[in-house]
Structure 1
């Protein structure tokens, strides 16, 4: 006689929650908000509708949870500690390349479109899709700049604002172009990045 399985472990529950979120994101990307359904999300996650409803009361609640989560998970540009920061220009180029890759990733672009299209229905999205994706990168760049300021390599009055401007120079235009389906070549993208980094360095180096 088979024994009845008890409650899932914390690790199992966490793994299932992640699977449900990923399935929901995939469903919204494929069908859009209007076309998606709780049944489709449950089917994609490999769970019953009852199990899905135990987690979320309706499709709106699923969307409000998983879209900000999906956008935010792409803000992790890796640990700044792993970047070779002997040279500030090299470090900024490394951060910039990671930021550009994430900002123009096709799935990110599609997620932003969905978020913007449905934003009027979701006042809980109290920040824009760009902000959801940008916050982590800004913290990373701020921390990087703080290291160099402490060494006396650069002089910056407002580190957070400087990090914001750096990201705007690096990724704002390529990301907006991607929103309209226009993607630069790798060569064009690298040229854009290197120019932005050099221009930014001129502004933060001590006079």
Structure 2
């Protein structure tokens, strides 16, 4: 039923969707739908964050202990780029953003989703390499450093995807390599000893 509701909202928009259309798409009666949700607003408020978190919680490949730092960040970065270029997720983000004024609770969902498995994986990689002396990041800054890494990797490709623009594999790899290099320049210990 949730999948049917999501697809109906994506196809018709919030204003164009009716409880009858959702029930029809789900293959249930309106009475069954109303028994679970009092109105369209309640359906939308539940199913859009559910769909976004479900797509975002797909398995994240955490590089094994002892893996090279740059290779680990490259693997996580590639997964992040695949996520932001996922057309279904782009549609979900568009509708959530366009309706965010009506659904202030989405701000809390967005904050919660920021603590995604991918963000935690980057934090774990950074912590591991920091503890090995390869990085200069304070413990209370690991989350911020991980966020900055993901923003460097995801922000521009995500903005482009919002407008239906997708880079070639070659452009995407070039973007990722530079984002990793720039990030590492900021977190690797300085050779002059100044942290």
TM-score normalised to structure 2 length: 0.87
Aligned-pair CA distance for 1:46: 2.0
What are the residue-to-residue correspondences of 1:31-42 with 2, within 5 Å?
A: 31-42=12-23
Q: Which residue of 2 aligns with 1:176?
A: 159
- Secondary structure at the aligned position of 1:126 is classed as helix
**Alignment partner, residue 98 of structure 1:** 79
Contact 1:68-1:132 within 8 A present in 2 as well: no
Q: Kindly report structure 1 stretches of 4+ aligned residues shifted beyond 6 Å.
A: none
Report the Cα offset of residue 32 of structure 1: 0.9
1:118-145: CA deviations, max 9, x gaps?
111112222475x565430322211221
For the 8 Å contact 1:24–1:44, the answer to whether it is kept is: yes
CA-to-aligned-CA distance 1:24-51 (integer Å, 9 cap, x gap): 1111111111111112212222222222
Q: Mind listing any 5+ residue stretches in structure 1 that lack a counterpart?
A: 1-19
CA RMSD of aligned residues (A): 1.9
Q: 1:135 aligns with which of 115, 132, 135?
A: 115
Matched, 1:71 2:46: no
Of stretches 161-170 and 193-202 in structure 1, the one that deviates more from structure 2 is 193-202
Q: In the alignment, what sits opposite 1:122?
A: 103
Shift of 1:77: 5.1
Query: TM-score, normalization: structure 1?
Result: 0.82
Query: Are the structure 2 counterparts of residues 196 and 89 from structure 1 closer, same or farther at C-alpha, using a change threshold of 3 Å?
Result: same
Which residue matches 1:12?
none
How many pairs are equivalent? 186
Cα distance between partner residues in 2 of 1:112 and 1:65: 14
